[in-house]
């Protein structure tokens, strides 16, 4: 059967690999030609494979990319010597070697660093990464990021233009640059994951793919020895913990299930185990980043057998650490939620008083939902309903609205 | 048993994403597998869009395609079936109606003595 031979997302992942290898050969200035060429090989594969799949589809596609590269080289009349050797820093490696697994990984890592180059705007970085590394097309990026196709098209055009005009070299940065640029890479991966994780509704499937992609990207980062440091593992752990709960967040009728109501037996344990391992490595070098604390918080939820078993004291400690390191209104809001769970209502209220709901931007409704929760615990049902109404009037997402309305009914 | 040709028209793939290509391939594979299991396939081919057309007394050669991409013949199957109704049933699983593709069914002529 086809499922046995074609792994999930084979074409999408192969797209990223092939584009990366070919870019290493032809340079970023030829990116558009390269992407068209890869698309062509896929269409050929599609016709060829309709009746009989090749024994090893992945190898078939890689070979196709190689042949395509040779064609292109001939076409642009590159000197014969260039086919033999590609300059790669101080070491030149042979054309054939570029198609070996570890060199493909290296090429993809170069593409990740290119996508996260500081001359690109953060919004362009995500779109560019999803296109060139993850093989999403404009339509898919638009639906994953809940934006118009037109917007994505513009961002991609601008990003491609910058990448080719600024003469960005297709390399992994060295020494001090490497770690500085790594921060941006982690941020882009983190944002990509969050786009997928904190979303509900119609585009659920594609957004789940976003989470999967973010995890795949960080695995590529971890393939390089120099980059196996605490914060990378911490982000990896964070994403594993979150991703293990993806399927349990939506009920059978498409409704949101909060942590209280999720079926914890549906959490995906293999991912939790990988997350735990990553967490051990994350703390080895003794430095702590916001990823560490966010992973600790996610891990704390995972550890609890039931919602009531949650160690809220520990949770509070993690949130306090996080807030010290990276103060944010959302962090404060989360802290107040934990305090409500601990029944320290006055302390919760003190924090809520310091938050300006507008600072939370599109998440301002969460503020009112929390305020409502506080009123409820204080047995002030009237105010609880009032605040919930404000929250309902502010929330844009239908599924989340339904969730809040259900809450109101329960009051 | 009669023979029929199913001719596929249209459905350019240019705008498909890698993921969509893979999903579409899966559908083609399933369809082909079903026909193969039923043992009704006589032949099948996919065709390149490029056309050479020779015409006129002078055998003038022209380069195509001569029609819009949505009208280009992309391939065919020759299958054995009892009736055209049966073929229409089989063609229900053709995977490309959603991207503007269509199927034309033509019965192959037989010349009985």
Written as one string, the DSSP assignment of A89-110 is TTEEEETGGGGSHHHHHHHHHH
Provide the 3-class DSSP secondary structure of residue B99: helix
Exposed, middle or buried, B9 (CB in 10 Å: 0-12/13-18/19+)? middle
Contact A255, A402 (CB under 8 A): yes
Could A51 and B30 be called an inter-chain contact, meaning their C-beta atoms sit closer than 8 Å?
A: no
Residue B53's CB is within 10 A of a number of other CB atoms, namely 11
Give chain A's mean pLDDT: 87
Residue B113 pLDDT:
64
pLDDT at A80: 46
The residues pairing with B43 across neighbouring beta strands, listed in sequence order, are B78
Q: Which residues of A47-72 are buried (b: 16+ CB within 10 A; e: fewer)?
A: bebbbebeeebeebbbebbbebbeeb
Task: For residue range A191-246, list pLDDT tens digits in order.
Answer: 889 888 876 555 667 778 889 999 999 999 999 999 999 999 999 999 999 999 98
Specify the pLDDT at position A183.
93
Name which of B15, B21, B32 is nearest A11 (Cβ-Cβ).
B21
Q: From the CA of A82, how many Å to the nearest CA of chain B? A: 30
Residue A317 has pLDDT above 50, yes or no: yes
Q: Which residue of B has its CA nearest to A38?
A: B18
Q: pLDDT category, A3, cuts 50, 70, 90?
A: low
> In chain A, pLDDT over 90 holds for what percent of residues?
52
Distance of alpha carbon A106 from alpha carbon A112, whole angstroms:
10
pLDDT at A56 over 50: yes
β-pairing verdict for B2-9 and B102-107? antiparallel
Q: What is the ipTM of this complex?
A: 0.83
Q: How many CB atoms lie within 10 A of CB A108?
A: 25
Taking CB atoms and an 8 Å cutoff, what residues of chain A touch B32? 50-51
Inter-chain CB proximity A12 and B17 less than 8 Å: yes
Task: Spell out which residues of chain A touch residue B46, defining contact as CB-CB under 8 Å.
Answer: 47-48, 50
Residue A394 has pLDDT above 70, yes or no: yes
Instruction: For residue B12, give the nearest of B48, B38, B52 by alpha carbon.
Output: B48
Q: Is the pLDDT of residue B110 over 90?
A: no
> Residue ranges per domain, chain B?
1-71
CB contact (8 A) between residue B26 and residue A43:
no
The verdict on a CB contact (< 8 Å) between B29 and A50 is yes
Q: Is residue A1 predicted with pLDDT exceeding 70?
A: no
More confident residue, B65 or A308: A308
Between the ranges A141-150, A182-191, A230-239, where is the mean pLDDT highest?
Answer: A230-239
Give the A:B interface size as CB pairs under 8 Å: 64
Nearest to A367 by CA among A339, A404, A330, A400: A330
E strands, B10-72, are 41-46, 52-55, 60-63
What residues of chain B lie within 8 A of the CB of A11, using their CB? 18-19, 21-22
Task: Please state, in angstroms and rounded to a whole number, the distance separating the CA atoms of residues A135 and A118.
Answer: 22
Highest mean pLDDT among A42-46, A136-140, A152-156, A257-261: A152-156
What average pLDDT does range A17-43 have in this prediction?
Answer: 90
Q: What is the pLDDT of residue A258?
A: 81
Q: Name the residue among B15, B16, B32 with its Cβ closest to that of A51.
A: B32
Run of H or E residues at A6: none
- pLDDT of residue A90 exceeding 50, the answer is no
Backbone angles phi, psi at A178, to 5 degrees: -60, -50
Count of other CB atoms within 10 angstroms of residue A330: 14
Cβ-nearest to A50 among B17, B19, B46: B46
pLDDT computed for residue A400 by the predictor: 82
Please report the pLDDT score of residue A246 as a whole number: 86
Asked if B26 lies within 8 A of A137 by C-beta distance, the reply is no
Angle at which helices A204-222 and A175-197 cross, to 10°: 160
Measuring CA to CA, which residue among A295, A304, A297 is closest to residue A277? A295
Query: Is B30 an 8 Å CB contact of chain A?
Result: yes
Cross-chain Cβ contact B13/A45 below 8 Å = no
């Amino acid at each position: 059967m086809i499922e046995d031979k074609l792994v999930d997302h084979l074409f999408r992942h192969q797209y990223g690999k092939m584009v990366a290898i070919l870019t290493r050969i032809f340079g970023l200035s030829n990116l558009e030609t390269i992407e068209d060429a890869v698309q062509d090989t896929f269409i050929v594969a599609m016709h060829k494979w309709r009746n009989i799949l090749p024994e090893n589809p992945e190898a078939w596609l890689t070979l196709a990319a190689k042949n395509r590269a040779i064609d292109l080289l001939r076409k642009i009349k590159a000197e014969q010597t260039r086919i033999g050797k590609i300059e790669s820093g101080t070491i030149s490696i042979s054309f054939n070697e570029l198609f070996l697994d570890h060199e493909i990984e290296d090429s993809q890592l170069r593409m990740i660093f290119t996508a996260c180059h500081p001359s690109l705007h953060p919004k362009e970085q995500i779109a560019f990464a999803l296109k060139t590394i993850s093989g999403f097309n404009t339509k898919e990026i638009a639906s994953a990021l809940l934006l118009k196709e037109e917007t994505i098209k513009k961002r991609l055009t601008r990003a491609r233009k910058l990448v080719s005009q600024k003469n960005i070299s297709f390399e992994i940065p060295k020494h001090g640059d490497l770690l500085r640029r790594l921060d941006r890479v982690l941020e882009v991966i983190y944002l990509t994951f969050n786009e997928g994780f904190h979303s509900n509704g119609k585009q659920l499937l594609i957004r789940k793919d976003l989470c999967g992609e973010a995890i795949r990207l960080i695995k590529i980062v971890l393939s390089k020895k120099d980059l196996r440091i605490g914060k990378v593992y911490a982000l990896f752990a964070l994403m594993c913990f979150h991703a293990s709960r993806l399927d349990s967040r939506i009920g059978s009728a498409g409704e949101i299930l909060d942590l209280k109501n999720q079926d914890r037996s549906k959490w995906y344990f293999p991912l939790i185990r990988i997350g735990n391992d990553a967490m051990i490595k994350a703390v080895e070098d003794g430095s702590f980043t916001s990823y560490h604390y966010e992973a600790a918080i996610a891990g704390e939820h995972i550890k609890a057998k039931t919602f009531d078993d949650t160690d809220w004291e520990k949770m509070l400690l993690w949130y306090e650490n996080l807030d010290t390191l990276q103060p944010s209104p959302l962090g404060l809001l989360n802290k107040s939620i934990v305090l409500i769970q601990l029944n320290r209502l006055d302390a919760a209220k003190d924090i809520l008083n310091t938050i300006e709901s507008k600072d939370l931007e599109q998440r301002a409704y969460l503020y009112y939902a929390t305020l409502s929760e506080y009123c409820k615990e204080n047995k002030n049902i009237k105010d609880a309903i009032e605040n919930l109404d404000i929250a309902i009037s502010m929330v844009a997402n239908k599924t989340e609205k339904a969730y809040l309305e259900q809450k109101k009914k329960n009051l | 048993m009669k023979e029929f040709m199913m001719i596929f028209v249209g459905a350019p793939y240019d705008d498909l994403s890698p993921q969509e290509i893979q999903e579409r391939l899966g559908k083609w594979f399933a369809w082909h597998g079903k026909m193969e299991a039923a043992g009704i396939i006589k032949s099948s081919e996919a065709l390149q869009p490029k056309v050479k057309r020779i015409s006129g007394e002078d055998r003038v050669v022209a380069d195509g395609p001569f029609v819009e991409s949505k009208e280009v013949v992309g391939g065919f199957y020759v299958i054995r079936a009892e009736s055209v109704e049966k073929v229409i049933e089989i063609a229900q699983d053709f995977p490309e109606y959603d991207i503007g593709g269509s199927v034309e069914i033509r019965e192959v002529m037989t010349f009985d003595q």
